[in-house]
Amino acid sequence: MPISAYTATSNATSNATSQTTYWQQLPKVLLHEHLDGGLRPQTLLELCQHKQLVIPATKPSELADWMLANANAGSLVRYLDGFALTVAAMASLDACERVAFEAAEDARLDGCVLAEFRMAPLLLEEYNLAGEAVVEALIAGLQRSDLACGLIVCGIKLDPPEKILRAAKLAACYQGQGVIGFDLAGPERGFPPALFADALALARNAGLGVTFHAGEADDGSRVLEAVALGATRIGHGINVMYARSAAQQEEWLNQARAAATHFEVCPTSNVHTGAVASLATHPLHDMIEAGLSVSCSTDNRLMSGVTMSAELQAVHDQNGVSKLQIKRMMQQAAAVSFLPEAARNKALETIAAVDFG
Ligand SMILES: [Zn+2]
């Protein structure tokens, strides 16, 4: 099928432009997107105003600029500052439902044919919202969209072990009802995968997909530690390309290939947190060439000011990833999605039928 024959449909909720680009028209698979990092600027502004939160802007564009400036400060700490505001803004069930729905619609209108969104529901306990109610609101929002999508529940590495275990149990309760996976997010250094072995085992035994943020701020060996504990996918994982010796590098790559570990790489986000210097020097292309299973996601559309289509265009233009390699990435992403087999196969068929050029 030529690319022009594949067109994402639009509706009144669209904030996309009427003229779709080549990159928007490509059928895409989004595996790594945080709901609390992907609010529409207009929605964030309205939610903040409704809650009378003190915010650094009065217009959506100013709010988006503030988020991007924080994200682009080259510091994970500054990058995470924006989340304090978005989480406060999302502290109602209506807001959770709305944000989830809009994220799914934005992805659909950007040409995604399958998407996974994630959030740590227990972040909202601080606002007296029960984890169960938050999960149900997020699922309701996602299911209101026509996009094939599901929810990954995150635990936060900074939280006490009992809370992380509760997050895993919460995910397990909704397995098959909209929750498709479990993830651990948050700071890496000082929080090796072994600390979370119980939660990872619980999620895995419940039949959930398991992914884990590793190898972005900390050593590449963390990737393989998380894999040994049952993670089949790794958030970022880029430091697996920076071993201390050629022998270690070969060993790491061999292990990752043997385990068919999938890397959910988010290049612009990696630049913004200071993990890599630029898109031009990002290891994404090298990961593909090394035969790893890799895809490309947005991480936090609001904080990083990106979309899936813009991200793919950027790695093509600045990182040397060919259009054929982009197609292969989308196929690998569809194949390893935590969504049911029928949804995976439908996405794979759609991607296979399109000539990426
Ligand atoms: Zn992430």
E strand or H helix at 9, and its extent?
Answer: none
d(CA 138, CA 130): 13
Output the CA 2–ligand 1 centroid distance in Å: 33
> 210 pairs with which residues across the strands?
182
d(CA 154, CA 167): 7
The alpha carbon of 263 and the centre of ligand 1 are apart by a number of angstroms equal to: 12
Closest Cα to residue 266, out of 61, 16, 38? 38
Place of tokens 């196969």: 345
Burial tier of 137 (Cβ tally within 10 Å: 0-12, 13-18, 19+): buried
7 C-alpha to ligand 1 centroid (Å): 28
Q: Alpha carbon of 250 to those of 102, 245, 246, 318: distances in Å?
A: 43, 9, 6, 26
Q: Which residue, among 164, 27, 40, has the nearest Cα to 95 in the 3D structure? A: 40
Instruction: Provide the pLDDT for residue 3.
Output: 55
Distance of CA 33 from the midpoint of ligand 1 (Å): 7
pLDDT at position 14 is: 42
Who surrounds ion ligand 1 at CB < 5 A?
A: 235, 299
Cα dist. 141→35, 58, 70, 102, 171 in Å? 11, 27, 28, 8, 17
pTM (two decimals): 0.93
Rounded Cα–Cα distance for residues 287 and 275 (Å) = 15
CA of 213 to the centre of ligand 1 (A): 7
Ordered by start, the domain boundaries in the chain are: 3-352
Q: Where are the alpha helices (DSSP H) in the chain?
A: 22-25, 41-50, 60-71, 76-89, 93-109, 131-144, 161-173, 197-205, 221-228, 246-258, 267-272, 284-289, 301-304, 308-319, 323-336, 341-352
Partners of 265 in beta bridges:
296
Q: Known catalytic residue: 216?
A: yes
Is residue 149 classed as helix, strand or coil in its secondary structure? strand
CA 193 – CA 223 distance, rounded (Å): 9
Query: What's the confidence (pLDDT) of residue 270?
Result: 93
At residue 125, the 3 state secondary structure works out as helix
> How would you classify residue 81: left for phi > 0, otherwise alpha for psi between -120 and 50, otherwise beta?
alpha
For the chain, the straight-line distance linking the first and the last C-alpha, in angstroms and rounded, comes to 11
Q: Ligand 1: distance of its center to the CA of 266 in Å?
A: 8
pLDDT value, residue 13: 40
Ligand 1 centroid to 46 CA: how many Å?
A: 25
Residues contacting 49, CB < 8 A, separation 6+: 55
Which residue in the list 216, 225, 264, 311 is annotated as catalytic?
Answer: 216
- 35 phi-psi bin (left φ>0, alpha ψ -120 to 50, beta other): alpha
Task: List residues bridging with 29 in a β-sheet.
Answer: 114
Taking Cα atoms as reference points, which of 22, 8, 26, 2 lies closest to residue 351? 26
Helix axes 308-319, 323-336, angle to 10 degrees: 130
CATH topology of domain 3-352: TIM Barrel (3.20.20)
Contact between 351 and 113 (Cβ < 8 Å): yes
Answer yes or no: are the C-beta atoms of 33 and 297 closer than 8 Å.
yes
Tens-level pLDDT at each residue, the chain (357 residues): 545 444 444 333 444 445 679 999 999 999 999 999 999 999 999 999 999 998 888 999 999 999 888 888 767 677 777 899 999 999 999 999 999 999 999 999 999 999 999 999 999 999 999 999 999 999 999 999 999 999 999 999 999 999 999 999 999 999 999 999 999 998 888 899 999 999 999 999 999 999 999 999 889 999 999 999 999 999 999 999 999 999 999 999 999 999 999 999 999 999 988 899 999 999 999 999 999 999 999 999 999 999 999 999 999 999 999 999 999 999 999 999 999 999 999 999 999 999 998
**189: exposed, middle or buried (C-beta count within 10 Å: 0-12, 13-18, 19+)?**
exposed
Ligand 1 centroid from CA 90, angstroms: 18
Instruction: Give the distance (Å) from ligand 1 centre to CA of residue 327.
Output: 22
Q: Ligand 1: distance of its center to the CA of 140 in Å?
A: 22
Output the pLDDT for position 287: 98
Distance from the alpha carbon of residue 4 to the mean position of ligand 1, in angstroms: 32
- Separation of alpha carbons 314 and 296, rounded Å: 11
Six token digits for residue 259: 């385990």
Q: Tell me if 323 sits within 8 A of 22, measured CB to CB.
A: no
